[in-house]
Amino acid sequence: MSDAPEWFWQAIDQKPASGTVEVEDSDINYLTWGNDADADEPNTKPGILFVHGHNAHAHWWDFIAPAFLDKYQVAAVDLSGMGDSDHRDEYQRETWAKEILTVADETKLPKNTVVVAHSFGGLMALRACNVAPERFSGLVLVDTGVRSPEEEEARDKDKQVPRLARPKIYPTQEVAMSRFRLQPPQQCENQYIVSHIARNSVEYDDEGWVWKFDEELNMRVKPIEGLKEDLVGLSINVALIYGELSESFSAQSAEHMKSLKPELEVIEMKDAQHHLFLDQPLDFISKLSGVLDRWGS
């Protein structure tokens, strides 16, 4: 990562602390940045809780989270089946939402906390903010949300039946990292970011290096329903930041969400793809900061 810019090194040098909390018999891992439990005075800053996407983990926010430490208490969660959290025999949206709420409480984030959630994680955060609106002050959906009926129908036609594959085991960390790919597939000019994420996406077990997610997750997850109702029912601030070139979310779906929730703030990131905070990290930080400032968090 010798080509990484100085801001990136400064960000990842601010190492987060990790912890776990039990949710429905599973240990859920989380990260916190800059939260000094031994400080003489209580931390009165508002909070941000970052939630990752499908088969991802909390370290996807390592280079984003530190940018907000001057004004916010910051944490990120590993949803069960991903990162360093336990796997489950069955996964459902209600449980993932409960994990988000429990981590917010465990990390002592205040009531004026905004959830910032990418992709799949946004669907879980949408449920958490709907069932417990008093717990959070806002939700920022990152390239995710309620797709338009046309886009949803097209995706259903292309959807493949999940199949059980043999767990992939690699002889070295370097080999495993070299196999890391963003999903959905996309090119990213900031290879130093992709390399950092890849390094934190593998772990060693008794046989070799493996991915830090449940290979059977897609087989074990129950259908995700009620997204439209949860969006319409939200009683807190809500915004959408999406990528102009994303293959996962479109301007058509953004317009659909706006029709369902007129107060939704919609921000398009030009030339960005689905993993928009990897494509344009500084612009993403700027746009997210603008949303938070307008909300007065």
65: domain CATH number is 3.40.50.1820
Q: Looking at residue 38, what is its pLDDT?
A: 47
Residue 45 near residue 52 (C-beta atoms within 8 A): no
Determine the Cα–Cα distance for residues 18 and 29; give it in Å rounded to an integer: 7
| 260: in domain | yes
| 196: in domain | no
First to last CA, the chain: 35
| 77: in domain | yes
Q: Looking at residue 153, what is its pLDDT?
A: 81
Q: What is the mean pLDDT of residues 254-260?
A: 98
% of the chain at pLDDT higher than 70: 93
Residue 236 near residue 138 (C-beta atoms within 8 A): yes
Q: Is the pLDDT of residue 101 over 50?
A: yes
Q: Is the pLDDT of residue 3 over 90?
A: no
Residue in the block written with tokens 């807190």: 236
Q: Looking at residue 44, what is its pLDDT?
A: 87
Structure tokens given for 142? 């990152």
| 210: in domain | no
Q: Looking at residue 154, what is its pLDDT?
A: 78
3-state secondary structure of 8: helix
pLDDT digits (tens, 9 = 90+) for 108-166: 999 999 999 999 999 999 999 999 999 999 999 999 999 999 888 877 766 665 555 66
| 212: in domain | no
Beta carbons within 10 angstroms of residue 30's beta carbon: 27
| 192: in domain | no
3-state secondary structure of 237: strand
| 287: in domain | yes
Query: In the predicted model, what is the mean pLDDT of the chain?
Result: 93
Q: What is the mean pLDDT of residues 280-286?
A: 98
User: CA-CA-CA-CA torsion for 190, 158, 215, 142, nearest 10 degrees?
Assistant: 40
- The number of domains in the chain is 1
pTM across the whole model = 0.95
* Per-position b or e across 31-50, b if 16+ CB within 10 A of its CB: bbbbbeeeeeeebebbbbbb
Fill in the DSSP letter of residue 54.
Answer: T
- Range with top average pLDDT, 36-45, 150-159, 205-214, 237-246: 237-246
Domain residue limits at 271: 7-165+223-295
Q: Looking at residue 34, what is its pLDDT?
A: 83
DSSP, residue by residue, 194-244: HHHHHHTTEEE-SSSEEESB-TTHHHHBPPP--HHHHHHH--SEEEEEEET
Q: Is the pLDDT of residue 218 over 80?
A: yes
| 136: in domain | yes
Residue 285 near residue 276 (C-beta atoms within 8 A): no
Q: Is the peptide bond before 110 cis (omega within 30 degrees of 0)?
A: no
